[in-house]
A = this chain, B = another copy of it.
Amino acid sequence: MKLTIEYLQETLKGRFELSLLQELVEVGQFKRAPVGSYLIRPGEYIRSVPFIIRGSVKIMRPDQEGREALLYYLGGLDACAMSLTCCLGSKRSEITAVVEEETELIAIPVEKIDDWLCRYSTWKQFVFQTYQKRFDNLLMTIDEVIFHKLDERLLAYLQKKVASCQCTVLNITHEEIAQELATSREVISRLLKQLEKNGQIQLTRNKITMLA
């Protein structure tokens, strides 16, 4: 699809000035990314920063043994701070970005990130806001892992998921959850069963329904 000023004005209303929108239309590349597709893989160089218009993207952190833990989600009007730093420092990515729900995004070429920074104060603001949000995300993730037990983390995980997909029925297997929380399937099954006993969720194959 081709980007238009009208589309941008509608989706980003008031966030950026007109002249910036015009540049965005020129250099930005609109993309629709299907569920499960990878926006970024660890080790890759990043040539464009994804600016998410709508949808949901999962940011994960891999380790050497092939495990991959969830860091946080990006949603509408978010941008990936990791990409920003990688671009500006031309380093390889240290994270994975997977589309969680069908996502529309604008790919912005690296050069422009820097170029716009001093020419558009709204852009500068946006970039720094992005950094701040990502720091907050990371800190919250760290809090979870350091200070909370698995059952609490699991519940928080489910709630985040619900918030991100806007519906109370999650289509997900225990195995997937286990991977994102960096533990084993059996442990997750056990804890989920506990939550079910407490009346907080309902379990069926490939599906978890939040009740609370």
Q: Does A124 contact B (CB under 8 A)?
A: yes
Distance of A152 from chain B, by nearest CB (Å) = 12
Q: Identify the 6 closest CB pairs spanning chains A and B, nearest first.
A: A118-B118, A85-B132, A63-B147, A145-B145, A88-B128, A138-B138
> Are the CB atoms of A132 and B89 closer together than 8 Å?
yes
Tell me how many chains of this kind the complex includes. Answer: 2
- A160-203 CB mask vs B (1 if < 8 Å, else 0) is 00000000000000000000001000000000000000000000
Given A63-B147, A84-B131, A94-B136, 15 other A-B residues pairs in contact with their CB atoms under 8 A: A61-B143, A61-B146, A63-B143, A63-B146, A69-B142, A82-B135, A85-B131, A85-B132, A89-B132, A118-B118, A135-B138, A138-B139, A138-B142, A141-B142, A146-B182
Given the complex of chains A and B, what is the CA–CA distance between A30 and B54 in angstroms?
Answer: 47
- A67-106 CB mask vs B (1 if < 8 Å, else 0) is 1010100000000011011001101001100000000000
Q: Does A129 contact B (CB under 8 A)?
A: yes
> Are the CB atoms of B132 and A91 closer together than 8 Å?
yes
Given the complex of chains A and B, what is the CA–CA distance between A89 and B129 in angstroms?
Answer: 7
- CB neighbours of A91 from chain B (8 A): 132
- A121-137 CB mask vs B (1 if < 8 Å, else 0) is 00010001101101110
Q: Does A8 contact B (CB under 8 A)?
A: no
Total count of chain A residues near the partner, CB < 8 A: 34
Question: Most B CB atoms within 10 A — which of A63, A69, A132?
Answer: A132
- CB neighbours of A63 from chain B (8 A): 143, 146-147
- CB neighbours of A146 from chain B (8 A): 61, 63, 69, 145, 182
Distance of A43 from chain B, by nearest CB (Å) = 14
Given the complex of chains A and B, what is the CA–CA distance between A141 and B61 in angstroms?
Answer: 12
